[in-house]
Amino acid sequence: MRVFTVTNQKGGVGKTALALHLALAGQEQGLRVLLIDLDTQGNAGITLTGDPGLAKCDGGAGDLFAGDGVQPLTTPSGIALLHGHQKLDAVDANFKLVDAVPVREAIRVLPYDLVVIDTPPAIGLRQVGPMVWCDLCLTPLEPNGYSVVGLSQTLEILSAARQLNPLLHSRTIINRHIRRSKRQKQYIEQIAARVELTQPYLCLHVAVADALDSGVPVWRFGRAARDTKEQWRAICGGLLGAPVAD
């Protein structure tokens, strides 16, 4: 089993988009995939099920912390889901990092090849816990001034998580890239001075949002440009260690 978490304390940078694309890519490759959605907004689960009411239902990812086992939903794509919902805020309030450590083993015994964890845009147990459970932590960034500041915080949290999970790997991914933007270029240079950036960068393209609204990865979305499809296939294939078919 491989466990990936997608993290960034800032919202709107593409955490959920990346988590969904990775899960869909793994599914296409024939892997048994579980998506764990730790965000109260429940967007990843809503996309996978098409059920906008899902974030009002208890259980799902919250059960990971209760210690009585989990009951993933099977979504139409075949991806199993521990959905996110409004009551997940209580996890940050009620549990400490030490409580989250056993969850790692609870996940590892589940019958999946790939587990992708989507996290909320806030520093807290639901962000740090998955860093302790996972093999690979992915940080999508939009190149701007906030992300330069946010990156320092993320790197600090990652180094704290490595105390409990010494084998933790991490990757930083540029998303919402605008090729002709000189400002973005400057921010990317600043970010690249701190961390190695995974290639290729993912361009800002409305087809990404439109594809997810239709419940498909952008490489299966007819209206997406070829470049965009190739970028997302390259990123997901690179992270999964196997190509995503055309």
Q: Where does this chain bind Mg ion (CB under 5 A)? A: 15-16
Q: Which residues share a beta bridge with 174?
A: 141
Among 202, 224, 235, 239, contact with ligand ADP (rule: CB under 6 A)? 202
Among 15, 83, 85, 229, contact with ligand ADP (rule: CB under 6 A)? 15
21 counts as binding ligand ADP under rule CB under 6 A: no
Q: How far apart are the first and last CA of the chain?
A: 25
Pairing of strands 136-141, 2-6: parallel
d(CA 105, CA 96): 17
The answer to whether the beta carbons of residues 231 and 201 sit under 8 Å apart is yes
Pairing of strands 2-6, 114-118: parallel
Mapped onto helix, strand or coil, the DSSP state of residue 162 is helix
Phi-psi region of 74 (alpha: psi -120 to 50; beta: other; left: phi over 0): beta
Cβ 47 to ligand ADP shortest distance, Å: 9
205 counts as binding ligand ADP under rule CB under 6 A: yes
Task: Decide whether 103 or 208 has the Cβ nearer to ligand ADP.
Answer: 208
State phi, psi for 23 to the nearest 5 degrees.
Answer: -65, -45
Positions in 209-238 near ligand ADP (CB under 6 A): 209, 212
Task: Decide whether 50 or 67 has the Cβ nearer to ligand ADP.
Answer: 50
Cβ 86 to Mg ion shortest distance, Å: 14
Cβ 235 to ligand ADP shortest distance, Å: 10
12 counts as binding ligand ADP under rule CB under 6 A: yes
Query: DSSP letters of 35-59?
Result: EEE--TT-HHHHHHH--TTGGGS--
Task: Decide whether 41 or 184 has the Cβ nearer to Mg ion.
Answer: 41
Burial of residue 133 (number of CB atoms within 10 Å: 0-12, 13-18, 19+): buried
126 counts as binding ligand ADP under rule CB under 6 A: no
151 counts as binding ligand ADP under rule CB under 6 A: no
Q: Which residues share a beta bridge with 116?
A: 4, 35
Task: Decide whether 160 or 225 has the Cβ nearer to ligand ADP.
Answer: 225
Positions in 41-60 near ligand ADP (CB under 6 A): 43
> Which residues contact ligand ADP (rule: CB under 6 A)?
11-17, 43, 121, 175-176, 202, 204-206, 208-209, 212
